[in-house]
Chains A and B, each alone.
Chain A
Amino acid sequence: MNDILNFTTGPLFSFCLAMAILGSLRLVIITIADLFRSMKTAGDKKLPWMDIAIDTASWLFPFNRLFATRRLFSLLSFTFHATLILILIFHQDHILLIRRIAGISWPFIDRPIVDFLAIACILCAIFLLSNRIFTASGRTMSEAMDYFILSLILVVLISGFFASTDFNPFSHGAVLLVHAVCGNLILLLIPFSRLGHMVLYPILWVASAVAWKFPSDSSNRRGGMVID
């Protein structure tokens, strides 16, 4: 068990992290390159930068949007994302893992607080998953991948919580292995699934604005009907 665990949290983790970073970098680069390509042919090259900046910032830090609509959903969705990011970056064990492979570290959040954040995050994830399962609009919209990603995150959170507390009713090694394997899988999925929104988020509003910038010779480019 220890050998598998060491492999999962060692070389496999390094590989998955490298894939996540390089894959995300690729995703960001090709997206930005696409935007430049679009702007090159656009007849109007002016972008409403101030509006874009305001929209982006107001969604990155959506405090004034939380109570605009679907208040409970918005609040819990925000809490889910915020606590997940905090746990991911400031959990002591995560920092130790990074220090082991990259030699860098930063301050961590104390255990009781991290445990509290983890419980909040788990509850929010359960709510979000329930929302997909039990509401008509949620069910209508959700695809298999949506359920899978959220369930995977939930497994990582719950196994991580049990692995780092004294309330663990299961084998510590087994729980930690589940946590590490699923965590690695999430890292791998970031560039190849909807989790890509983690890295693409800051450029979404620029991209939407660019999409409205049509080529100056739109009508000459396109001819008539395909089928007459």
Chain B
Amino acid sequence: MENQKSYPYYIEKPLEYRRVEGFLAAFEEVLKNSNYRSILDLYSRISMHCSRCATECQIYQSTGRPEDVPCYRSAILIRIYKRHFTPLGRLKGRLFGSLSATEADIDQMLESFYHCTACGRCTMYCPMGIDHRLLTRLGRFILSKIGIVPKALAVSVREQLEGETGNTSAVPLKGLKTTIEFLEEEILEIKGVEVRFPVDFEGAEYVFFPPVSDFLMEADTLMGIACVLHEAGVSWTIASGNYDAINYGLFYSDEVLEKVLQKMAQEVRRIKGKKILIGECGHASRSAKVFLPSFNESEEIPVINILELTAQLIKDGKIEIDENAITEKVTYHDPCNISRSGWIVDQPRDILKNFIKDFVEMTPSGRYNLCCGGGGGTVSINELKPYRMNTGGKRKAEQLKATGADVVIAPCANCKKQIGELIAHYKLPMRHAGLHDLLFTAIKMKKQVVSNE
């Protein structure tokens, strides 16, 4: 009789037995075909278990569970590596017969690695520079090879890579075009200017990849972006073959990461675009910016996030903004994937100071800002919602409340969803928005000429 395992999230093909053997075989395969061995060796030699990360991890601070200490979680994987994949570990195992990977380890990892939001904040406080985000990702990667990956992520990725629509939200091209028409009409009605969302405009400077969910849920963000690009006379286009920047590979699989990026580069080549422009999305920006060069050696395609471009356009005087359009008190949430490295911290603030009079920073902010509580793909896993709300999200809600702001800007599809849910869950007296949502309200439109056509 097989043991019925319970999982904290839905998975498609749950293995009920031989999970340990499967995990070890997958681990071995990953080690054989990657460069992870060297970092595991190094981390196993230097991890001092000082628990400094525990005080900065908002998940552990909420749960108090040892499994949620970043170093503890990483230590499970490191211990299995040492025991099964190093000569000394194998010898110790034979002599003492202990410390082998167990079913309990698998249970602990499949839960713990998806409790982590991979925000990377713990690494900033680790005196040894141990990148727990990397180890969380590696743990998830190995688990995915034995079929343990949240169904929500697996289904989205399958649709993106093998499905008819080719994107994570299954938005068909016809649906995209209808949405675009609707958005153009809205802009005309609200701003009184004809603004087009160019599709398949060959040779455009920027090929625009938003998180595809924006077409379903974030109309204001897209309209704001279109208005900015139109007003500044930027040459841009959406590509009909791929209009989704979302890359769940960043959260759990090297293979998915590569395939999604290859698909993106292929589409840019098809319509002879010059640069990739990512919309308001943290993980999509980081995956394209940081990892496209790894998988696209043949040619360099520059990647830029919309916040960078908008900041530059404002600096160059190409956009005029009504500085009295927004009177509410505004705060800014730094998405982990674009802020932790210091890549996009100043640019959004540079934009905001042009038209937000009442701006308040969160504490902490910038590179050290708290995660929204839904990072690492967890926001897409609906069954984890209660967990997201009551752990990392709780700390975030307290932080948001302390600002006293009326509006919280979250320039990331994942963060927007999580923060929106937090506001509802904790009944916070504020609303959330993308940065370009506010710009859509504040931008002064003059140009009547339709760009790119």
Q: Interface 1/0s, chain B 30-49, versus A by CB < 8 A? A: 10011111110110011111
Task: Report whether B49 and A208 are in contact in the complex, using a CB–CB cutoff of 8 Å.
Answer: no
A77 to B127, CA, bound (A): 10
Interfacial residues of chain A within 8-63, with CB under 8 A of chain B in the complex: 27, 31, 34-35, 37-38, 41-44, 46, 48, 51, 55-56, 59, 62
Q: Interface 1/0s, chain A 139-160, versus B by CB < 8 A? A: 0111100100000000000000
The listed residue (A44, A55, A207, A214) touching B42 by CB distance below 8 A is A207
The listed residue (A41, A137, A201) touching B35 by CB distance below 8 A is A41
Name B's interface SS.
helix
Q: B112 to nearest A CB, angstroms?
A: 13
Task: Report whether A227 and B56 are in contact in the complex, using a CB–CB cutoff of 8 Å.
Answer: no
Task: Report whether A197 and B46 are in contact in the complex, using a CB–CB cutoff of 8 Å.
Answer: yes
Interface-forming stretch among A115-123, A165-173, A215-223?
A: A215-223
Q: B318 to nearest A CB, angstroms?
A: 30
Q: B225 to nearest A CB, angstroms?
A: 28
Q: B253 to nearest A CB, angstroms?
A: 9
Interface size of A by CB at 8 A reads 56
Q: Which residue of B lies closest to A31 (CB)?
A: B42
Q: Which residue of B lies closest to A143 (CB)?
A: B49
Interface-forming stretch among B238-246, B277-285, B289-297, B383-391?
A: B289-297
Interface-forming stretch among A65-73, A82-90, A92-100, A176-184?
A: A65-73
Enumerate chain A residues within 8 angstroms of B46, measured Cβ to Cβ. 194, 196-197, 200-201, 204
Q: Interface 1/0s, chain B 116-128, versus A by CB < 8 A? A: 0000000101011
Task: Report whether A216 and B295 are in contact in the complex, using a CB–CB cutoff of 8 Å.
Answer: yes
Enumerate chain A residues within 8 angstroms of B66, measured Cβ to Cβ. 136-137, 140-141
Best-buried of B47, B51, B56, B297 by chain A (most CB within 10 Å): B51
Q: Which residue of B lies closest to A223 (CB)?
A: B29
Q: Which residue of A lies closest to B298 (CB)?
A: A216
Beyond A37-B35, A141-B71, whether A226 also contacts B45 by CB under 8 A is no
Enumerate chain A residues within 8 angstroms of B55, measured Cβ to Cβ. 69-70, 137
Q: A92 to nearest B CB, angstroms?
A: 30
Q: B228 to nearest A CB, angstroms?
A: 29
Task: Report whether A140 and B30 are in contact in the complex, using a CB–CB cutoff of 8 Å.
Answer: no
Task: Report whether A214 and B35 are in contact in the complex, using a CB–CB cutoff of 8 Å.
Answer: yes
Task: Report whether A222 and B29 are in contact in the complex, using a CB–CB cutoff of 8 Å.
Answer: yes
Beyond A43-B294, A140-B66, A140-B72, whether A214 also contacts B34 by CB under 8 A is yes
Beyond A142-B49, A211-B131, A213-B35, whether A219 also contacts B297 by CB under 8 A is no
The listed residue (B25, B54, B129) touching A204 by CB distance below 8 A is B129
A158 to B162, CA, bound (A): 66
A41 to B129, CA, bound (A): 23
Enumerate chain B residues within 8 angstroms of A55, measured Cβ to Cβ. 129
Enumerate chain A residues within 8 angstroms of B258, measured Cβ to Cβ. 214, 218-219
Beyond A205-B129, A225-B145, whether A140 also contacts B69 by CB under 8 A is yes
A194 to B42, CA, bound (A): 10
Task: Report whether A197 and B254 are in contact in the complex, using a CB–CB cutoff of 8 Å.
Answer: no
Q: A68 to nearest B CB, angstroms?
A: 7
Q: A18 to nearest B CB, angstroms?
A: 20
Task: Report whether A46 and B45 are in contact in the complex, using a CB–CB cutoff of 8 Å.
Answer: no
Q: Interface 1/0s, chain B 341-364, versus A by CB < 8 A? A: 110000000000000000000000
Q: Does A188 sit within 8 A of B, measured CB to CB?
A: no
Enumerate chain A residues within 8 angstroms of B123, measured Cβ to Cβ. 208
Q: Does A7 sit within 8 A of B, measured CB to CB?
A: no
Q: Does B259 sit within 8 A of A, measured CB to CB?
A: yes
Task: Report whether A51 and B129 are in contact in the complex, using a CB–CB cutoff of 8 Å.
Answer: no
Q: Which residue of B lies closest to A40 (CB)?
A: B35
Task: Report whether A226 and B69 are in contact in the complex, using a CB–CB cutoff of 8 Å.
Answer: no
Q: Which residue of B lies closest to A41 (CB)?
A: B35
Q: Does B430 sit within 8 A of A, measured CB to CB?
A: no
Task: Report whether A213 and B294 are in contact in the complex, using a CB–CB cutoff of 8 Å.
Answer: yes
Q: Does B417 sit within 8 A of A, measured CB to CB?
A: no
B-side residues, CB < 8 A to A, are 15, 18, 22, 25-26, 29-30, 33-39, 41-42, 45-52, 54-56, 60, 64, 66, 69, 71-72, 75, 123, 125, 127-131, 134, 145-147, 254-255, 257-259, 290-291, 293-297, 341-342
Mind listing 18 A-B residue pairs with CB under 8 Å? A34-B38, A34-B42, A37-B38, A43-B295, A44-B291, A69-B52, A137-B66, A141-B54, A146-B49, A194-B47, A197-B48, A204-B129, A214-B294, A214-B295, A218-B257, A218-B258, A219-B258, A226-B22
